[in-house]
Structures are given as structure tokens and as C-alpha cells.
Amino acid sequence: MFETLRFAAIPPEDEALRPRVRAFLAEHMAEIPLQARARTWMGGDADFSRKMGEAGLLGLTLPERYGGGGRGPFARFVVVEELLSAGAPVAFHWIADRQSALMILNFGSEDQRQRYLPGICRGKLFFCIGMSEPGAGSDLASVRTRAARAPGGGWRLNGQKLWTSGAHVGDYAITLARTSGTPEDRHKGLSQLIVPLKAKGVTVRPIADVNGHFDFNEVFFDDVDLGADALIGAEGDGWAQVNAELAFERSGPERIYSSLVLFDAWLAHVRDHGADQARERLVGSTLAQLAALRQLSIAMTAQLAEGVSPITEAALIKDLGTSFEQALPASIADDIAAHPDEPVAPELTETVIQMLAIAPAFSLRGGTREILRGMIARGLGLR
């Protein structure tokens, strides 16, 4: 399966972006506390996103005629790596920049490209993705949200989505719906529609996590009337489009770096108090895993740069990456508990508690571990 994932290096012209990104982050993140930074791409700030757009750091992979940077996936990889390492509040623009813009670019009409892409590049249009549903979860082929043809050629949308990240702050939701056939048809008859979240009949209900944060939402569609131009691509092509989209979502550094800000804070604590053998092993094993996973992600980015959509490989990297970032807060908590006589900064203690609470979601968002392993098994010909 991995014969296509050859060793790859980030091109020098893309590495050259790092000083510019670091200077931007130094200017705009000085006052953000550790707990907020540790939430990385789950924490949003609309003003920060607009400033990124003004700095030309959004839409890097989009053509210049739509306001983008006209660059390849490695340019975005460098920017994303720096953002996540610093814990930048990027949630508002994250999904649009990572996948929605590419969906519209690759499958949308020219009118849709002209209408949405420039706003995404400026950090002024925010998207979310309506995929998971009650009773379906990550089994996207079982979605029951339905869009029926309406008089005049438009669509009437009914259904419900669950765990929709960012819907409470988004402008649009790219929504997977059944436009023909029945759920028993599984992969047939699915389509994607661009749904304005302020449209009549759309209700967004935020879901608080155990820390009191509102990242996830329920979204209800009750007789939502959409124009014919809401459809992305051809009717019934939604399954292929979703799989292409998820390759972008599952292979990036955000599936590796969600606990990195906490790790850096803990390393600072270790430098102040000293490292015993157990700590040395934890630091060494963490860095070794991080280096290997990062190289896999770079190799995946090289495939995307060549126009390949390696769906199975992306699923495996996402499974490995989220397992790594999920285990790290628990390992750090165990280390702190093993050194009860050491004073621990309150913000580090609070951040460890926060990350322990949200870490279970790491293996849920973007596809559950069970779904991903089923995909991997099929890719290997085992089922």
C-alpha cells in the first residue's frame, strides 16, 4: 500500500515561508495564554483569520485569479505546521482553507468559484462540513438527510447533522445529502450542497464539551429551500467528492500536532526540574514518533502535490497520528503525578486537565478509528 509514499522533502521555496509566518505569529499571538493555545485548531478568532487573509497566508493552494497564492500543498503544509506549533486560533477559517475551497475549486462551477473563493482567501467567509448524522456517525454512506428537487429546479433540504465543527460561527455548510435512491443504495444518489447557515429553516444548536467550550454543533434542516446553484458538481457524485475531500482532511499535520503545545510546555517544566530516566524515555519516544509521523505526512503532501488522492494511506496516517496525539496528554499527566514534590505552574496543570478532557475527540473528528481501520483493511484487500 505504501509503495507510493516515498521519502520527500519540503521544497526550499516553501521552507522559505517559515520566517514570514513566525513573524506574523510573534506579532499577533503574544497575549494568548497557554490554555487557549493548547486548543490549537479548535480555537477560533475571526479577527485573527482576517489578518491571515490580509497577510496572504490563506488560500495558498488556490489560483491567483481567485485571490489565492497559486502555490502547491507544501506551502500550506509549512504555514499549518507553524500555526499548530504556536497554537494559533485558526478554527474560523480552518475548514474552508483546508478542504472546502478545494472542493469548490475541483468540483464546483465557475460561478461558485468566483462567488466563494475570494472571500475564503481574505478570511471573510467561513465554512463547515455537514457529514456525520445521528445513527450514522462516520458511516457517511448511511446519511439520511435528503434534498429533493423543488419547483424551479432548486432543492428542498431536510435532515439533521451532528458533531458539525464550527457551524455556530460559519457562513456556509457543505452538506452531504441523499438526492436520489434510498439509504440501502449506500454510495449511490449522494450529493453535496452549499447551504447558507443563516437560511430560513436552518437551526444550529451548539454542543458544550466538558470544558464548557462550544466547538461541535447539531444542525437541523427543516424545508430549507436552495437554488439549483447550491449543488457542487453533478448530482449523485457526492460519494466520490467526499472521499477526495477527506484525503485532504486526514493527512495534514493537524492529525499529529494537537497536543504539541502541551508537550512544549511540559518540556519547559522538565528543563526547570530535571529529567530522570523515565522522562528521558518519554521525551525520546515522543520525538521519535513525531518525526516518523511528520515524514509520513510530508510524503502524503508530495502525493497531493502530484495530483494523487491516496485515500487509504491518508486513513492510516490519520489513525496513527490521532493515536499519538491522544496518548500524549495522558503520558504527561502520569509523569507529573510521578513527581508529586515538584511545583507545577497552575497554567500547565489546567492545560493538562483540559487536554485530557478533549483528547477522546481526536480519534472521532475526521472519521472514527473503527471506520478508518475498515478503510485500511479494504485498501489492503483484507475485507
Domain containing residue 194: CATH number: 2.40.110.10
Q: Is the dihedral of CA 239, 97, 321, 168 positive or negative?
A: negative
> Which of 203, 237, 271 corresponds to the end of one domain?
237
Q: How much is the pLDDT for 138?
A: 63
Residue 245: inside a domain: no
Domain containing residue 300: CATH number: 1.20.140.10
Q: How much is the pLDDT for 3?
A: 53
Same domain, 7 and 119: yes
3-state secondary structure of 353: helix
Mean pLDDT, 10 residues at a time, over the chain (383 residues)?
69 97 96 93 91 97 97 94 96 93 96 98 96 78 90 94 92 96 78 98 91 88 97 93 74 85 98 97 98 92 82 85 95 98 97 94 79 82 81
Rounded CA separation 116/122 (Å): 10
Cell 423543488 maps to which residue?
150
Same domain, 38 and 71: yes
Domain that holds residue 85: 2-125
Residue 246: inside a domain: no
Same domain, 284 and 302: yes
Question: In Å, what is the CA distance from 321 to each residue of 140, 254, 268?
Answer: 22, 9, 23
Radius of gyration of the chain (CA): 21
> Which of 196, 215, 237 corresponds to the end of one domain?
237
Q: DSSP string spanning 85-106? A: HHT--BHHHHHIIIIIHHHHHH
Residue 63: inside a domain: yes
Same domain, 264 and 368: yes
**Residue 70: closest CA among 150, 13, 123:** 13
Residue 321: inside a domain: yes
Same domain, 114 and 138: no
Same domain, 115 and 140: no
Domain containing residue 48: CATH number: 1.10.540.10
Same domain, 95 and 51: yes
Q: How much is the pLDDT for 258?
A: 92
Q: What is the DSSP letter of 44?
A: B
Cell 473528528 maps to which residue?
365
Rounded CA separation 363/372 (Å): 10
Same domain, 113 and 135: no
Residue 243: inside a domain: no
Residue 279: inside a domain: yes
Rounded CA separation 80/57 (Å): 10
Q: Count how many domains the chain has.
A: 3
Same domain, 282 and 298: yes
Q: How much is the pLDDT for 306?
A: 85
The three cell numbers locating residue 81: 505546521
Q: What is the DSSP letter of 179?
A: -
Residue type, 11: P
> Which of 202, 237, 272 corresponds to the end of one domain?
237
